[in-house]
Structure 1
């Protein structure tokens, strides 16, 4: 009687269920089966990306592509929640000068500016795919936020009422999309500016945002790098939240709140299928912007994000 199948490939037996397009030399396949190397996690260095012997041997040595039980890739253990601790004493924490200024400005903005909010849902499937494909290039890192900044800059050029600042007796509509990107720092929040974002590629935007964020955390931003701007983006997507609203950064007349990309059902071709969605909420100053203006801006932004190849032009 033959032994019962264990689900783990035996020595010399090629792995089943490899995605279409993965090419493996016979020798590499044999070594992978013998040493429990997951070929799905190995990058081929042979002709046309073919996985060859040296690739499998390197993966086996590093342990970076080890098969788990039943031939499945080994899964990293999920970090445990660290929410339990001993009781402590009550403490009063003095407000720092930065926190005092932030509190004063936000209180003025929320009480003196007539905020209104409009939310749009974006089908983010194509956006996620484009990001994954772009990051296949060695040395290139593209984030969803980079693509959103690019799309926002283009949309603002079409909807100048949102790319504006309020000055009491006048509203200044800016030609250049100078986009502030909210960055959390140890003592509060700061908004470095990607100047003329509409003229920059996704890669340029990403490099600049990361450089500005590092300078912000290190406390090395120059005043010209965070004072001014015509529009602000606040992105909490990395925390996986579904939706939120942001407070306008005066004298700007609008701010965009970006939530996380969620796996949710979507309707395509009259059929309900698994998809990815992202919610965007704009907070606008009703003294300068009407609801129809905000809705039209979000419509353009959604159309750009749902056809993300347009952001590469």
Structure 2
């Protein structure tokens, strides 16, 4: 018997998610555990498997739609099942009226019941008067930039809109905005009485090259980039909003305390050069820091914990998150059982995480778990900084740059390479003495790096 497929809660406490794509077309049979759809959360992409054999009789939301958790997204039938009147069946299931979904970067829209949806019935920029084909990544980038993807000319197969098309539209809009600003500074002619002169000339002229249509005076369209001669407003990405919410809650509810330490890392840098000599996988300083932190967790197991409302939870394996910056915001994928990884495995895993994070292809389970985070700004020349704990972790290590400085040894000054680190700790599960013992152990490992590889 036919039933409704609902948007799953793919991440804890998630209230909505984006339906990135359908893996199975309508009326095509699928098997149990086969992926039928892909859903995007604030930070990850999640495959939705089928619970049993069946067929998609009708999709209820389009690709790229933002849907509330629990809302119907498709009508699923038994294998071989056919329904003569889908609208009548949907009415029986309480779906008589089309649902409201949101495409990122656009206002709420009411989806028509037709399987092939059009962009307002008008020919799209890619020459198609019917469905506008585009990649999920292209739609997301367009939404985050406040551009209607239907207005972008596609250069992919069969006119499909792909990433480079969106990037070209964004660049074109930026160039147009700069030209408008220059014209305004030169003294543009007065605008018609119905449009304020403060509105840029390209907006008054209408949408072209992917520029959103003008909103009423003083009210920018939802999701658009608002530009004036003094400032530019770029709408928050889903990742940035999620990070802002989590870190605000962390700073408000987690009692932070901080420990700072300095390590002489000359031996560490020499060991890294030897390991990278002819190696297929290049090892970064951060990879060695992660491995040293995992070893310190083994030697000071009281740090390998998190706080829960009922108890302090202690872990037998060391799972650590690594902060990775992307254009859309910060993500923290978790390395599992780092104590059992070789240093080259750590390096290759972190590199894989970084590549997939930038493409928006991390899986939700890769962003969950762990008790500790490492964040490194040393590659930017930052000497020292403090980080906010990533809930529910008990601590985060902020790593600065390795720098040549004068150091004292046996009463004499000489040049040496040092690195400063700051440990932010949750005082609920970890006492100051435990954190201090961990820091002493960690710094000793950096200064005697052969022990990291043991």
| TM-score (normalised: structure 1) | 0.70
By how many angstroms is 1:125 displaced?
0.7
Q: Is this contact kept in 2: 1:134–1:140, CA < 8 A?
A: no
Deviations 1:66-107 (A, max 9, x none): xxxxxxxxxxxxxxxxxxxx9944222222222111111111
Partner residue in 2 for 1:274: 415
Partners of 1:136 and 1:88 lie apart in 2 by: 51
Alignment partners' CA distance in 2, 1:246 and 1:229: 17
- Of 288, 311, 319, which residue of structure 2 is paired with 1:170? 311
Q: Which one has a larger percent helix, Structure 1 or Structure 2?
A: 1
Determine if the alignment matches structure 1 residue 286 to structure 2 residue 420. no
Looking at structure 1, the residues matched to 279 and 303 of structure 2 have their Cα atoms a distance apart, in angstroms, of: 37
Displacement of 1:170 = 1.1
1:160 is displaced (CA, Å) by: 2.2
Per the alignment, residue 238 of structure 2 pairs with: 97
Whether the 8 Å contact between 1:114 and 1:287 is mirrored in structure 2 is yes
Residue 224 of structure 1, aligned match among 353, 362, 365 = 365
- Cα deviation 1:204-257 (Å, max 9, x = unaligned): 110111011111111111111111112110111101111000000111111111
Secondary structure of 1:209 counterpart: helix
State the match for 1:203 in structure 2.
344
Gaps of 5+ in 1: 1-85
Q: After superposition, what is the alpha-carbon deviation per residue over 1:42-77, rounded to whole angstroms, capped at 9, x for unaligned?
A: xxxxxxxxxxxxxxxxxxxxxxxxxxxxxxxxxxxx
The whole-number CA distance in structure 1 between the counterparts of 2:394 and 2:334 is 16
- Write the deviation string for residues 130-186 of structure 1: whole angstroms up to 9, x where unpaired: 111222224241111111111111101122232111112311011111010000011
- State which drifts further: 162-171 or 251-260: 162-171
CA RMSD of superposed structures (Å): 1.5
- C-alpha separation in 2, matches of 1:310 and 1:137: 22
Could you say which structure has the greater relative contact order, defined with CA pairs below 8 angstroms and 6 or more residues apart? Answer: 1
Larger radius of gyration: 2
Secondary structure of the residue aligned to 1:276 is strand
Q: Within 2, Cα distance between the matches of 1:143 and 1:248?
A: 23
For residues 316 and 409 of structure 2, the distance between their equivalents in structure 1, rounded to whole angstroms, comes to 37
Deviation at 1:115, TM superposition (A): 0.4
Distance 1:311 1:163 in 2: 17
Question: How far apart, CA to CA, are the structure 1 residues paired with 2:232 and 2:284?
Answer: 39
Q: Which runs of 5 or more structure 2 residues have no equivalent in the other structure?
A: 1-181, 183-227
Task: Give the equivalent residue in structure 2 for 1:250.
Answer: 391
Instruction: Report the counterpart of residue 134 of structure 1 in structure 2.
Output: 275
